């Protein structure tokens, strides 16, 4: 772990193994931290906050810019490590490292844009001045599916704002977190400003993060169930909270859309990271007039997606994170088929060699999906594309909005009026209009409802780490 500027073992001396999800091989060990370690890390961050928060914005900007340069130089090593530890194809790992570094560069620039303002008063002898100042110690919990970019998406704005950090990375991908921390260390981050506690059991760490009086903000990316628990506990202690949670994204193909283009976009997005993405399309609503062309194109595209080890050439889908993930995907597919859906492509776990030692599920296309099936209601987090045919254009937005989630949605239409009405009518935080990549370091990312609170990225991202202070001056 990394506490107060030093790499250290857990207080207990315990460690846990980190494995390759494609092969099951042990690729490293990390300290198995506990409450005592988390408390030490919080105290270190609190002690460093005074000096770090008083540094100039330009100093913090220079440091983040240096971290961006180092991450760019080490991009290939980081991508190789990510594929080894998380399993995604190497091409996708390289893209993620680039995306991760974008947050460092963006927030290096955003650090110098934090401003206050003079406000008018009704009294002639009074002036108001508002300032934006860092909230304090930030506790961050990050997921395994994007083990590098989800760190920089939190660390970049937090450090730019002048906050100090304690990170608990996902237990499945702590080696990536360690490598990212080494980037910041080599960039010159002072001791105590960034701290990291690793643990096989995240619960004791989360309890410290939500209860320790010196933690002033919690930021979490992960499942809705865990996010609700952490947010509730943190809010009970009046901590600032931002959480980016699950999704159940609709993908709507209107009758005026180009169904072939839509299917190509859907296939590219659905199997990104083996479907293990919160913005992955989970419900593909295709108008009956476009269904045949859409399904034909999807069948051909999905049939060409190659599963395998992320280091192998041509692989488009790597392993799922663990056995529980495979079991969940299999259960949803089996339920859908039993209730009348058809597995036009795939539909089963991959068990033969070379897949037998890893956690693989075949890239799958389901047709004939309806609202009686579990996959229609629950997030899959796996490489399964469910197609739902509809006939009533006026009803499709209502169907798409029929979920407690509200993270991402996608619309394909060649009519600007149709697209605009869908953009305005869908209750989701991110809408891709003929676009399957509506994300950027400079754009706000976040959802509504059970998909979370707050935004990451863009100017909204740094605002999550700032408090407003007002001064009233009598003349």
Q: What is the DSSP letter of 223?
A: -
So what's the pLDDT on residue 229?
Answer: 97
Q: What are phi and psi of 428, to 5 degrees?
A: -140, 150
So what's the pLDDT on residue 126?
Answer: 97
Q: What is the DSSP letter of 190?
A: P
Q: Is 227 helix (H, G, I), strand (E, B) or coil?
A: helix
Give the other-Cβ count within 10 Å of 146's Cβ. 25
Of residues 114, 140, 136, the one with CA closest to residue 195: 140
So what's the pLDDT on residue 182?
Answer: 98
So what's the pLDDT on residue 437?
Answer: 95
Distance (Å, whole) CA 110 – CA 421: 33
So what's the pLDDT on residue 102?
Answer: 98
User: 375 and 336 in contact (C-beta within 8 Å)?
Assistant: yes
Q: Which residues pair with 243 in a beta bridge?
A: 220, 453
Q: Please give the structure tokens belonging to residue 150.
A: 């989800």
So what's the pLDDT on residue 146?
Answer: 98
Q: Which residues of the chain have pLDDT under 70?
A: none
Residue 203 neighbours by CB under 8 Å, 6+ apart: none
Of residues 2, 21, 15, 10, the one with CA closest to residue 319: 21
Give the other-Cβ count within 10 Å of 291's Cβ. 18
Give the other-Cβ count within 10 Å of 427's Cβ. 14
pTM higher than 0.85: yes
Tell me which residues are annotated as active site: 244, 278
Instruction: Write out the DSSP string of 311-367.
Output: TSTTEEE---SSHHHHHHHHHHHHHHHHTT-EEEE--SB--STTSTTS--B--EEEE
List pLDDT tens digits, range 63-117: 999 999 999 999 999 999 999 999 999 999 999 999 999 999 999 999 999 999 9
| Cis, peptide link before residue 257, omega less than 30° from 0 | no
CA distance readout (Å), 7 to 1, 66, 187, 469: 5, 21, 16, 36
Catalogue all structural domains in the chain, each as residue range(s) with its CATH number. Answer: 2-245+451-474 (3.40.605.10), 249-440 (3.40.309.10)
Residue 185 neighbours by CB under 8 Å, 6+ apart: 2, 194
* pLDDT over 70, % of the chain: 100
List pLDDT tens digits, range 142-183: 999 999 999 999 999 999 999 999 999 999 999 999 999 999
Which H or E element spans position 99?
Answer: helix 90-110
So what's the pLDDT on residue 177?
Answer: 98
């Amino acid at each position: 772990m990394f506490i107060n500027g030093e790499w250290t073992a857990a207080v207990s001396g315990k460690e846990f193994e980190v494995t390759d999800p494609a092969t099951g091989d042990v690729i490293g060990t990390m300290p198995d931290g506990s409450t005592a370690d988390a408390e030490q890390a919080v105290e270190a961050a609190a002690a460093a906050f005074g000096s770090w928060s008083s540094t100039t914005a330009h100093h913090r900007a220079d440091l983040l810019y240096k971290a961006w340069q180092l991450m760019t130089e080490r991009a290939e090593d980081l991508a190789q490590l990510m594929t080894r530890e998380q399993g995604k194809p190497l091409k996708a790992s390289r893209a993620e490292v680039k995306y991760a570094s974008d947050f460092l560069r963006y927030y290096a620039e955003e650090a110098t844009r934090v401003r206050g303002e003079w406000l008018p008063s009704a009294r002639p002898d009074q002036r108001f001045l508002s300032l934006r100042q860092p909230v304090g110690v930030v506790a961050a919990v990050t997921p395994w599916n994007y083990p590098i970019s989800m760190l920089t998406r939190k660390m970049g704005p937090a450090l730019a704002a002048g906050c100090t950090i304690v990170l608990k990375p996902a237990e499945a991908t702590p080696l990536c977190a360690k490598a990212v921390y080494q980037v910041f260390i080599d960039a010159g981050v002072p001791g105590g400003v960034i701290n990291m506690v690793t643990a096989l059991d995240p619960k004791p760490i989360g309890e410290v993060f939500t209860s320790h009086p010196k933690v002033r903000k919690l930021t979490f990316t992960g499942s809705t169930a865990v996010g609700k628990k952490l947010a509730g506990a943190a809010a009970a202690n009046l901590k600032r909270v931002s959480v980016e949670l699950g999704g159940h994204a609709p993908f709507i193909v209107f009758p005026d859309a180009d169904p072939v283009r839509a299917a190509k976009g859907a296939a590219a997005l659905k199997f990104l990271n083996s479907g293990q993405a919160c913005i992955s399309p989970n419900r593909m609503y295709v108008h009956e007039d476009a269904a045949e062309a859409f399904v034909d194109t999807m069948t051909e595209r999905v049939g060409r997606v190659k599963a395998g080890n992320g280091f192998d050439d041509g692989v488009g889908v790597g392993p799922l994170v663990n056995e529980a993930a495979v079991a969940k995907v299999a259960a949803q597919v089996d339920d859908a088929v039993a209730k009348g859906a058809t597995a036009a492509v795939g539909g089963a776990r991959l068990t033969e060699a070379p897949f037998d030692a890893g956690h693989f599920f075949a890239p799958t296309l389901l047709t004939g999906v309806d609202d009686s099936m579990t996959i229609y209601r629950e997030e899959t987090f796996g490489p399964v594309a469910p197609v739902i045919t509809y006939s009533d254009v006026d009803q499709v937005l209502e169907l798409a909005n029929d979920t407690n989630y509200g993270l991402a949605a996608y619309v394909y239409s060649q009519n600007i009026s149709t697209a605009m009405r869908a953009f305005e009518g869908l209750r989701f935080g991110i809408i891709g209009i003929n676009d399957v990549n509506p994300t950027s370091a400079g754009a706000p990312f976040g959802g509504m409802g059970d998909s979370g609170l707050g935004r990451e990225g863009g100017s909204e991202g740094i605002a999550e780490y700032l408090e407003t202070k007002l001064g009233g001056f009598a003349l």
